[in-house]
Chain A
């Protein structure tokens, strides 16, 4: 009689200790806010195995289609005793009795696993399963995961089910919360980018159009004064030219904004484009646009086997770069050298546009390379043309560098270098 009472006392004492440990472990779990989802699953699984006095455990995530599952992890001791090949992805319909908790949508206990009538057996090298228990983890009406444990010495009962359900459910709540937080953070980044983009276009419109209108208004304002004073017709012609230039400037602005919008929306698909064909077109455009200036442009001897992955905006890219070399150049004779070379190792294609212009100070070089919306607002560092160039290069997955033509002396001109990956 005394022995029986002592045994019962000892069992109750152990059970009480286990309950205390369960509470402690649960408290620790909900405090693991800095853990990654993988770390949370590992912690939960090991604790489920320990607190149900099992020898093994596993966790499978159910795919959103509710038809297949992914083996996420085994408890660490399983890896020591199990040599069976791990199949990580398979349809639930092919899973054994261990997945019955998904089919019946409730926890399931198999305390005599070897004698189960409908079991499929275990693969070669799998450790022998004596007892098994698994619970589904719900998210609303969907089952998102299955957690299972096995090989407890004594039979599993409702207390083990409670522990497993409580632990796995708590773990899922934390993981779900983390996923929501991540989604919110990603959405915040996207929102911020969209907001900055809108602000950029708004600012661009107000600033650049205001400048254009100012020039037109000032010119118009001078007409009556010049006419009254009987000024020479040359000055009147100058005013008409200014107004005309401003209209062209406005239409270029609209065109560039349209192009930027198209690129922001994805633009045309990338295709194999003959690089020299585009370079020569850009060359002709620039020569025609500045027929009143002495411009000497040299291009590497034409080849017919150099292709890059781009779209029809590639012409705008080179036109903008060469135009910049002309516009920011005060020399009587403008020299521009366009060099194309191919790296013998990775076969990447390098295009250098080297000019003798006024150059770019280092601080502005980094602004152009980074090319964020905010910087443009702070100064007139990057025109819309370079913004377009940067955006296109990103789309083409090409690299972009700005060097001084003469090392450490930015006032002697610029070397814009673009590196395209080879297209086979």
Chain B
């Protein structure tokens, strides 16, 4: 819902890390970006991200978690950035555009 107004399409959502891995692997068209939580049942975000990045080194992952203790770990395994909850929507959108190397953020958010 947060991303809809900015023209992003959500092509999959998961309730836990394992589901995230399964969905990612099953998608024929991979997403441009993954927004990953950390504390999830069955498999954590860190574990899921490791598997996804092993499977696809080009995958782009932004962590959005309330557990700041894994910030460095997330970056070490290859996450692009770490957003510590609670954060402003605008900051997340800015990070997404930055990750996708688009520059339209300023105009879209300011509108």
**Which A residues are within 8 Å of any B CB, using their own CB?**
206-208, 210-211, 213-214, 216-218, 221-222, 225-226, 228-229, 235, 238-239, 361, 364, 378-381
Contact size range, B: 20 to 34
Is the CB–CB distance between A218 and B2 below 8 Å?
Answer: yes
Q: A206-B66, A210-B85, A218-B89 are in contact. Are A238 and B39 (CB under 8 A)?
A: no
Nearest CB in chain B: distance from A208 CB, A: 8
Q: A361-B42, A379-B39 are in contact. Are A210 and B86 (CB under 8 A)?
A: yes
Is the CB–CB distance between B40 and A379 below 8 Å?
Answer: yes
- State the main secondary structure of chain A at its contact with B: helix
Q: A213-B85, A218-B89 are in contact. Are A364 and B66 (CB under 8 A)?
A: no
8 closest Cβ pairs, A-B complex: A210-B66, A221-B89, A213-B86, A214-B86, A380-B39, A214-B85, A210-B85, A207-B66
Is the CB–CB distance between A211 and B41 below 8 Å?
Answer: no
Q: A364-B41, A379-B41 are in contact. Are A221 and B86 (CB under 8 A)?
A: no
Is the CB–CB distance between A379 and B89 below 8 Å?
Answer: no
Looking across the interface, which residue of chain B has its beta carbon closest to that of A361? B42
Looking across the interface, which residue of chain A has its beta carbon closest to that of B67? A207
Looking across the interface, which residue of chain A has its beta carbon closest to that of B47? A379
Of the candidates B44, B64, B84, B88, the one whose C-beta lies within 8 Å of that of A221 is B88
Nearest CB in chain A: distance from B48 CB, A: 11
Contacts of A214 in B (CB 8 A): 64, 66, 85-87
- Say if the beta carbon of B98 comes within 8 Å of chain A: no
**Which B residues are within 8 Å of any A CB, using their own CB?**
1-2, 5, 39-44, 64, 66-67, 84-90, 111
- Distance in angstroms between the alpha carbons of A214 and B92 in the assembled complex: 12
Contacts of A228 in B (CB 8 A): 111
- Distance in angstroms between the alpha carbons of A218 and B111 in the assembled complex: 17
Of the candidates B2, B64, B66, B67, the one whose C-beta lies within 8 Å of that of A222 is B2
Nearest CB in chain A: distance from B11 CB, A: 20
Of the candidates B42, B66, B89, B111, the one whose C-beta lies within 8 Å of that of A211 is B66
Looking across the interface, which residue of chain A has its beta carbon closest to that of B83? A214
Looking across the interface, which residue of chain B has its beta carbon closest to that of A229? B5
Nearest CB in chain B: distance from A298 CB, A: 27
Of the candidates B1, B64, B86, B90, the one whose C-beta lies within 8 Å of that of A238 is B1
Of the candidates A206, A216, A238, A379, the one whose C-beta lies within 8 Å of that of B44 is A379
- Distance in angstroms between the alpha carbons of A228 and B108 in the assembled complex: 13
- Distance in angstroms between the alpha carbons of A221 and B87 in the assembled complex: 10
Contacts of A229 in B (CB 8 A): 5
Nearest CB in chain B: distance from A228 CB, A: 8
Q: A214-B66, A381-B41 are in contact. Are A222 and B5 (CB under 8 A)?
A: yes
Nearest CB in chain A: distance from B37 CB, A: 9
Contacts of A225 in B (CB 8 A): 5
Is the CB–CB distance between B44 and A378 below 8 Å?
Answer: yes
Q: List 20 A-B contacts (CB under 8 A).
A: A206-B66, A208-B66, A210-B85, A213-B85, A214-B64, A214-B66, A214-B87, A216-B86, A217-B86, A217-B89, A221-B88, A221-B89, A222-B5, A228-B111, A235-B1, A238-B1, A378-B44, A379-B42, A380-B40, A381-B41
Contacts of B87 in A (CB 8 A): 214, 217
Contacts of A218 in B (CB 8 A): 1-2, 89
Contacts of B5 in A (CB 8 A): 222, 225-226, 229
Looking across the interface, which residue of chain B has its beta carbon closest to that of A231? B5
- Distance in angstroms between the alpha carbons of A214 and B83 in the assembled complex: 11
Looking across the interface, which residue of chain A has its beta carbon closest to that of B39? A380
- Distance in angstroms between the alpha carbons of A229 and B6 in the assembled complex: 12
Nearest CB in chain B: distance from A373 CB, A: 14
- Distance in angstroms between the alpha carbons of A229 and B111 in the assembled complex: 10
Is the CB–CB distance between A217 and B88 below 8 Å?
Answer: yes
- Distance in angstroms between the alpha carbons of A165 and B59 in the assembled complex: 78
Of the candidates A217, A222, A226, A364, the one whose C-beta lies within 8 Å of that of B42 is A364
Contacts of A206 in B (CB 8 A): 66
Nearest CB in chain B: distance from A410 CB, A: 10
- Distance in angstroms between the alpha carbons of A206 and B5 in the assembled complex: 29
- Distance in angstroms between the alpha carbons of A206 and B42 in the assembled complex: 21
Nearest CB in chain A: distance from B86 CB, A: 4
- Distance in angstroms between the alpha carbons of A361 and B2 in the assembled complex: 32
